[in-house]
């Protein structure tokens, strides 16, 4: 079955960077096509008994007017799996993502609403959608020691000489030109607003040895072990990111948004959503290094309480450093659901922001938030399916979706960032029981 070719009509976009097509009644999830195209596709995954097949477009017979030539030579069938939509014009990419978000909301949350994915300015002087990614995880081909990126749904490495969506600060390091023999992966970081650069090297063999790292620019070097723990080899303890009027310390390979405009864009959307007021108790869940907590604190009085919860101890240490001048800041390390369930931890929260990982918050966290009866919730989500599922959980606990904004913070990929705003649903008037007539 793999390698079989069919001529098909490409149908609607689906979540995950592909479109839906059909052949003899069987569904095919097709990459590198666009809705409305006629194309020859080649099966890449599936058998005669599979419910559906995966396939790549290998020949376009009738092209969509939205089709463009990919900017990167490695974007195509069987090559790098990082970019899903380089063959679509930027405006068309946003329209596809809008359709995906709307479909997930409708299917999983029962919400029928129009969605518009908003364009976000990328680095100046570069073509739209290119040169934005400030953190890149390179894989290393064990046979050659060359750096590259994974192929779609594969551990195979596509060796590259440059990445079109990588930020200039990443490409200046020259990682693709270096021999990485003995290394499994290299994560490269180029901070926004400072000249800080870092690499996190994971050796192929965890025997305590560290390959010598020589790059084309001054850089902090970290070593990751087989448990994901990171320690500094030389240079700074992390990088300095500049956003929302502050400089933020992000240690090692700590989390930070990968688009250079993402932090400012999301902070503005969250503050507009929450409308912080003096006297508020504010809660920042999955707070990372304290980005939203710090931005909210700037809108509150010094005596007001801003609580951040984060499972990464390293991130909490960074948050404590970043918010050291915020008198009302309180930071807790631990899984969000466990911290919220501690007896007497918190009785109420006026406003809540949560930015969970791709899997979403889940039913238990939603339940804990709802018990705090906040007047407004801002949910920052990088996966529309997980967001839609959690919105349904919130609806079951008396919260309605007030508004939703979506941002194209991952151009040329299928990923999209959303900020959903929730508030208590109006209480329905109780039905009056008929009285006795006298």
Nearest alpha carbon to residue 372 among 392, 341, 347, 354: 347
The answer as to whether 96 is a domain residue is no
The answer to whether residues 227 and 280 belong to one domain is: no
The answer to whether residues 338 and 409 belong to one domain is: yes
The answer to whether residues 207 and 265 belong to one domain is: no
On the question of pLDDT at 228 being above 80, the answer is no
The answer to whether residues 155 and 61 belong to one domain is: no
The answer to whether residues 264 and 410 belong to one domain is: yes
Tell me how many domains the chain contains.
Answer: 3
Would you tell me the crossing angle of helices 384-396 and 90-109 to the nearest 10 degrees?
Answer: 30
CA distance 23 to 5: 11
pTM across the whole model: 0.94
The answer to whether residues 315 and 415 belong to one domain is: yes
The answer as to whether 251 is a domain residue is no
The answer to whether residues 337 and 267 belong to one domain is: yes
Query: Which one has a higher pLDDT value, 301 or 150?
Result: 150
What is the pLDDT averaged over residues 32-42? 98
Under a CB-based contact definition with an 8 Å cutoff, are residues 14 and 34 in contact?
A: no
Would you state the pLDDT for residue 430?
65
Write out the residue range of the structural domain in which residue 219 sits.
135-190+197-235
CA angle 199/202/207 to nearest 5° reads 135
CA distance 346 to 356: 20
- Rounded (10°) CA dihedral 140, 170, 227, 330: -170
The answer to whether residues 275 and 205 belong to one domain is: no
Would you state the pLDDT for residue 302?
82
CA distance 121 to 261: 7
CB atoms within 10 A of CB 67: 15
CA distance 232 to 235: 8
Q: Which residues pair with 400 in a beta bridge?
A: 423
The answer to whether residues 263 and 179 belong to one domain is: no
Would you state the pLDDT for residue 436?
54
The pLDDT tens digits of the residues spanning 69-116 come to: 999 999 999 999 999 999 999 999 999 999 999 999 999 999 999 999
Structure tokens at 231: 């320690």
Under a CB-based contact definition with an 8 Å cutoff, are residues 406 and 385 in contact?
A: no
Domain stop point among 29, 52, 67:
67
The answer as to whether 118 is a domain residue is no
The answer as to whether 86 is a domain residue is no
For residue 20, the domain's CATH number is 2.40.50.140
CA distance 369 to 340: 8
CA distance 152 to 227: 25
Query: Annotated binding site for S-adenosyl-L-methionine: which residue ranges?
Result: 257, 286, 310, 355
Would you state the pLDDT for residue 128?
96
The answer to whether residues 276 and 210 belong to one domain is: no
Burial environment of residue 96 by CB neighbours within 10 A (0 to 12, 13 to 18, 19 or more): buried
Q: Which helix (H) or strand (E) holds 60?
A: strand 52-62
Domain stop point among 52, 67, 82:
67
Domain stop point among 44, 67, 90:
67
Under a CB-based contact definition with an 8 Å cutoff, are residues 87 and 70 in contact?
A: yes
The answer to whether residues 411 and 291 belong to one domain is: yes
The answer as to whether 75 is a domain residue is no
For residue 366, the domain's CATH number is 3.40.50.150
CA distance 10 to 142: 37
CB atoms within 10 A of CB 295: 25
The answer as to whether 92 is a domain residue is no
The pLDDT tens digits of the residues spanning 40-53 come to: 999 999 998 899 99
The answer to whether residues 288 and 205 belong to one domain is: no
In degrees and rounded to multiples of 5, residue 203 shows phi and psi of: -65, 150
On the question of pLDDT at 428 being above 80, the answer is no
CA distance 412 to 82: 9
**Enzyme catalytic residues:** 382
Burial environment of residue 359 by CB neighbours within 10 A (0 to 12, 13 to 18, 19 or more): exposed
């Amino acid at each position: 079955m793999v390698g079989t070719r069919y001529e098909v009509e490409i149908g609607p976009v689906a979540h995950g960077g592909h479109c839906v097509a059909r052949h003899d009644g069987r569904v095919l999830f097709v990459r590198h096509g666009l809705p409305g195209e006629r194309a020859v596709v080649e099966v890449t995954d599936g058998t005669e008994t599979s419910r559906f097949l995966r396939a790549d477009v290998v020949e376009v017979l009738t092209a969509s007017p939205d089709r463009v030539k990919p900017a990167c030579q490695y974007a195509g069938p069987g090559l790098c799996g990082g970019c899903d939509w380089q063959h679509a014009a930027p405006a068309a990419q946003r329209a596809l993502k809008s359709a995906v978000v709307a479909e997930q909301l409708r299917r999983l949350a029962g919400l029928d609403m129009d969605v518009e994915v908003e364009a976000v300015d990328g680095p100046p002087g570069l073509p739209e959608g290119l040169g934005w990614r400030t953190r890149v995880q390179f894989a290393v081909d064990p046979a050659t020691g060359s750096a590259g990126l994974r192929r779609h749904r594969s551990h195979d490495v596509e060796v590259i000489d440059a990445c079109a969506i990588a930020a200039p600060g990443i490409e200046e390091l020259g990682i693709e030109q270096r021999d990485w023999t003995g290394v499994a992966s290299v994560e490269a970081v180029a901070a926004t607003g400072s000249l800080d650069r870092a690499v996190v090297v994971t050796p192929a063999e965890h025997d305590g040895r560290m390959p010598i790292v020589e790059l084309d620019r001054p850089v902090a070097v970290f070593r990751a072990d087989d448990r994901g723990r990171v320690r500094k080899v030389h240079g700074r303890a992390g990088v300095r990111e500049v956003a929302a009027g502050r400089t933020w310390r992000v240690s090692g390979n700590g989390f930070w948004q990968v688009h250079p405009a993402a932090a400012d864009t999301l902070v503005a959307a969250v503050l507009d959503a929450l409308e912080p007021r003096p006297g508020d108790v504010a809660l920042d869940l999955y707070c990372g290094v304290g980005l939203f907590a710090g931005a909210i604190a700037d809108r509150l009085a010094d005596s007001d309480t801003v609580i951040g919860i984060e499972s990464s101890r390293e991130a909490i240490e960074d948050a404590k450093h970043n918010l050291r001048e915020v008198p009302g800041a309180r930071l807790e390390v631990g899984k969000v659901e466990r911290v919220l369930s501690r007896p007497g931890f918190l009785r109420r929260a006026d406003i809540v922001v949560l930015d969970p990982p791709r899997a979403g918050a889940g039913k238990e966290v939603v339940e804990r938030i709802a018990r705090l009866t906040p007047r407004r919730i801002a949910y920052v989500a990088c996966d529309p399916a997980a967001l839609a599922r959690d919105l349904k959980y919130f609806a079951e606990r008396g919260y309605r979706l007030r508004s939703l904004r979506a941002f194209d913070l991952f151009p040329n990929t299928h990923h999209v960032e959303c900020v959903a705003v929730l508030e208590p649903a109006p209480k329905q008037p109780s039905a009056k029981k008929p009285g006795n007539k006298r």
